[in-house]
Amino acid sequence: MTVDEDQRRPSGAEPAAVRQAVRGAAIGNTVEWFDFAIYGFLATYIADKFFPSGDETAALLSTFAVFAAAFFMRPLGGFFFGPLGDRIGRQRVLAIVILLMSASTLAIGLVPSYDSIGVLAPILLLVLRCLQGFSAGGEYGSGACFLAEYAPNRHRGFVVSFLVWSVVVGFLAGAITVTALETWLSEDAMNSYGWRIPFMIAGLLGAVGLYIRLKLGDTPEFRSLRESGEVSQSPLREAVTTSWRPILQIIGLVVIHNVGFYIVYTFLPSYFTETLDFSKVDAFWSITVASLVGIVLIPPLGALSDRIGRKSLLIAGAVAFAVFAYPLFLLLNTGSLAAAIAAHAALAAIESVFVSASLAAGAELFATKVRSSGYSIGYNVSVAVFGGTAPYVATWLVSRTGNDIAPAYYLIAAAIVSLLTVLTMRETARKPLRKLVHP
């Protein structure tokens, strides 16, 4: 085999197998973010059903506290499922996590209300949300490694970009589902049973995803490692001791990946209504436009990273956030709905530039022997510290400073951290994946 042929398809995976791998990895992220969206959009119904009546604000805060708890479970999931993926294979872990995720999501829709079972209702909600967070800790890292190891070297950026693409698809699908139900059902029907329907849908989607993942084979890279008897018996220890530098690099790399994503897709919809005084319908249309921007841009930008390099796009995305975050937040605050939607779409476009290359670049930092461990640990630590807290920090900054532009400063700081990290990284586009820590 020539070098050129090896770079086109180092693993021997056929195009049909790569397409099947993309479907299998993407479905889990779609389910995860569908659930993420519906929980946020249904927060007022959940607060009413699972927490004692009397203080609506306290109930809503409790609902979001349960929501946040899932993020702090993600590092634990990463520490558990990442090494497990390096021992038993990526495909098996992907099957396990989607089973846990879909079962816990479905269960949330079935838990009786506080009026029926008392304090057991919020306890069960908390347990199920923590289980979702734990399983999510194994989802993203395993999925990124799975696609990176299936993809041809020449098209790895394009293939892996579908993982983050599926996140946006899941979020948009969740927003549309809840909005459609609120449009079609009466308020009484929505409060009685309608809020449970999206959780049932998520459970069904998870079952479909599990079926697809059970039919997948493991990655050619991992199969080769297993056949040569080089699978690590202590991947967590080996990752921490031999790959601590790339672990730190991925933590820094995905700071703006996560801060930008959560600002654009979770904070700004509430910012539209709470700070800019637009209606919920206005906020819905804005997040729809922003999501469509991501859906359209991410795959071709991922393909572009295969042609011009990961670092070019990563630097461009980080610099764009640092330069344009402030003026775009000024545009958000002009009072014009059209201007606000345009600014939201522009922020989504900048985020798309960065995330289209960041997942592939992160996977390429590690050797196959510890890739799942290193990636999952670094990514989930970063998302717990910077991602899940981004909406809270942005809201706190506005409240603390009295400055509606304050979230832009957080975006700028996050962009600078990731930019400095990118400058320490080597270019990895179109290069074969390393098999061992010391090749």
User: Using 50, 70 and 90 to split pLDDT, how confident is the model at 7?
Assistant: very low
32 in a structural domain: yes
What is the reported pLDDT for 61?
Answer: 61
The residue among 33, 70, 352, 345 whose CA lies nearest residue 177 is 33
Residue 348 within any structural domain of the chain:
yes
CA–CA distance, 66 with 58 (Å, rounded to integer): 12
Give the pLDDT of residue 63: 66
Query: According to the model, what pLDDT value does residue 2 have?
Result: 39
Tell me the two tokens of residue 366.
């590690």
Give the Å distances, CA to CA, from 261 to 160, 199, 251, 315: 17, 23, 15, 17
Quick check: is 428 in a domain?
no
Contact residues for 150 (Cβ-Cβ < 8 A; gap 6+):
11, 13, 17, 18, 21, 159, 219, 220
**What's this model's pTM, rounded to 2 decimal places?**
0.89
Residue 435 falls inside a structural domain? no
Q: Which domain holds residue 379?
A: 15-219+234-422
For residue 326, is it within any domain? yes
Mean pLDDT of 252-261: 96
Per-residue pLDDT at 57: 59
The overall average pLDDT reported for the chain is 89
For residue 6, tell me if it sits in a domain: no
What does the pLDDT look like over 324-338, one tens digit per residue? 999 999 999 999 999
User: Over pLDDT 90: what percentage of the chain?
Assistant: 62
Q: Residue 189 contacts by C-beta under 8 Å, 6 or more apart in sequence?
A: none
Rounded distance, CA 174 to CA 191, Å? 18
Q: Is the pLDDT of residue 11 over 60?
A: no
Q: How confident is the model at residue 400 (pLDDT cuts 50, 70, 90)?
A: confident
Residue 75 tokens, joined? 């590092």
pLDDT of res. 8: 42
Per-residue confidence band for 390, with pLDDT thresholds at 50, 70 and 90: confident
One DSSP character per residue, 177-223 reads HHHHHHHHS-HHHHHHTGGGHHHHHHHHHHHHHHHHHHTPPPPHHHH
**How many structural domains is the chain composed of?**
1
**Tell me, what CATH number does 253's domain have?**
1.20.1250.20
Most confidently predicted of 133-137, 176-180, 272-276, 289-293: 289-293
Q: pLDDT by residue (tens digit) across 195-237?
A: 999 999 998 988 888 998 998 889 999 999 999 888 988 999 9
Mean pLDDT of all residues in 160-176:
94
pLDDT at 32: 79
Torsional sign, CA 336, 342, 344, 350: negative
Most confident of 116-130, 173-187, 245-259: 245-259
Q: Distance between CA atoms of 110 and 199, rounded to whole angstroms?
A: 8
* pLDDT value for 56: 61
pLDDT of 100 reads 92
Residue 176 has pLDDT above 70, yes or no: yes
Q: Would residue 88 count as lying in a domain?
A: yes
52 band by pLDDT with thresholds 50, 70 and 90: confident
Largest CA distance in the chain: 72
On the question of pLDDT at 118 being above 70, the answer is yes
| pLDDT for residue 3 | 37
Domain membership of residue 432 (yes or no) is no
**In which band, very low, low, confident or very high, does the pLDDT at 9 lie, cut at 50, 70 and 90?**
very low
Residues 15, 133: Cα–Cα separation, whole Å: 33
